[in-house]
Structure 1
């Protein structure tokens, strides 16, 4: 990690010490540059957005067609591309670490550090419908191995332990047990997708022994950033929701062109000169 990357990573660590901040998710250099220009203090990647940009499905129940998943090298190459082109910290969506074993997860973390990422999350979702979550003990060992890899690297890095309990129909009690186990194993922050209402989020904030990340935009939701700050949330991400909104507009334009042969979709486009100005490198 060079000095610029280290300085960004140190800033990212500091963001997690107090308060609440919004960490929007990008999928390529252009989307990351736009988010950076909007003034966000850091940017994250979205595995869904990266996969969609390559015409592939996101990490999901893939046991029937595992070959459809984006491989680790492809994802890390995209993360490096983004990290090299922005001046704010970048947190990497590392899915399940691209393998079951703690050793594989540790290697993934070491590779992410080498890309210049300032942080990354490891989730307990397996993609197997019969056993959608890793065994709790193994899941904690995977976080422990990730922590050891961070410490061995000797660089600032925010390790996030993600549990998908709520997304696969599990209980809030199980969610709390797993998230606390990941924090105890060395995660700096717990990430609980699927927690979207004030009661659930408030319970998590009270019960967890560390900072909480929630994701908004999965179902719209009515809570604002101010609401989440008041509840005690430390970090808010938006997952693949911006990418999905972009693809909604693309699909709408495609349908208009194919079905009606009209061009009203272009009424909402950004002028090319504005995008040229936004993407112009400062000298």
Structure 2
């Protein structure tokens, strides 16, 4: 019997109550179904992974494309899905709010809003503007009582602004503005992770494991609540595809194809 949306959202919130859980990032319906069957308790979309499936670069997809993708992911699995909602696909707080309202209607259990502008000259929104954007997202979620969990992201480490004090200051401000989970992709060391966890407590922290060599158990000891992998699974899938395709194109041989996952097993999984 399919699990209701309300149950998915309640389950997602409960997962954030204690412990630490991996929340891997599928890039399409097939990868989402595969991860759900492996027993993961929740999934998260990946902006990069999805973009590559439709032949676009990361941060070049539209809100329409993302909402369609999220609707398909959420309908395909009985576990909660958290949305990588990039920067809300808008600059102005009121437009972020409108898009968050759309995003919530796709069936997600949570979504994140980042402070990246997409402008290399000014990669992060001014602090006050970034806070207003989080407040707008919070208000949009509260307006329809959806129960969607809001994650606030500071992209400082990803855009070359790796001042931990600045990142923590922003995360704390986003928490005060209504973010329930905080996320600073790019932090790597135990000291950085522990500092973020301590600063935003009792709010939850999401860690990007692609930027850290720590295990789930080690991350749990640091107080992190959930671990995502971003576009790493998508890149791993593309690695196998590119190796095999390049061999055919450049050498005229087909040995890499023998390393593919058995079609019989894939058919069983999707039966």
The two structures have a TM-score, normalised by structure 1, of 0.92
Residues 29-60 of structure 1, C-alpha deviations (whole Å, 9 max, x = no match): 0010111011000111000011000110002x
DSSP 3-state at the match of 2:105: helix
- What is the match of residue 238 of structure 1? 229
- What is the match of residue 150 of structure 1? 141
CA distance in 1, matches of 2:21, 2:157: 23
Superposition RMSD in Å: 1.2
DSSP 3-state at the match of 1:25: coil
Residues 142-188 of structure 1, C-alpha deviations (whole Å, 9 max, x = no match): 11111111111112211000000112222000000000000000001
CA distance in 2, matches of 1:165, 1:262: 44
Alignment partner of 1:203 is 2:195: yes
CA distance in 1, matches of 2:51, 2:200: 32
Pairing of 1:131-210 with structure 2 (within 5 A): 131-170=122-161, 171-209=163-201, 210=203
- What is the match of residue 212 of structure 1? 205
Alignment partner of 1:264 is 2:255: yes
- What is the match of residue 71 of structure 2? 80
Residues 94-129 of structure 1, C-alpha deviations (whole Å, 9 max, x = no match): 000000011111111111111101100000011101
- What is the match of residue 64 of structure 1? none
Large movers: runs of 4+ above 6 Å: none
Pairing of 1:1-283 with structure 2 (within 5 A): 4-59=4-59, 69-170=60-161, 171-209=163-201, 210-218=203-211, 221-280=212-271
* Contact 2:3–2:78, Cα closer than 8 Å, also in 1: no
The structural deviation recorded for 1:3 is 7.3
CA distance in 2, matches of 1:274, 1:234: 33
Residues 70-89 of structure 1, C-alpha deviations (whole Å, 9 max, x = no match): 11001110110111111100
CA distance in 1, matches of 2:125, 2:133: 10
DSSP 3-state at the match of 2:73: helix
List runs of 5+ in structure 2 lacking aligned partners.
none
CA distance in 1, matches of 2:157, 2:55: 28
* Contact 1:189–1:211, Cα closer than 8 Å, also in 2: yes
* Contact 1:8–1:87, Cα closer than 8 Å, also in 2: yes
The structural deviation recorded for 1:190 is 0.3
The two structures have a TM-score, normalised by structure 2, of 0.96
Deviates more, 1:182-191 or 1:14-23: 14-23
The structural deviation recorded for 1:261 is 1.4
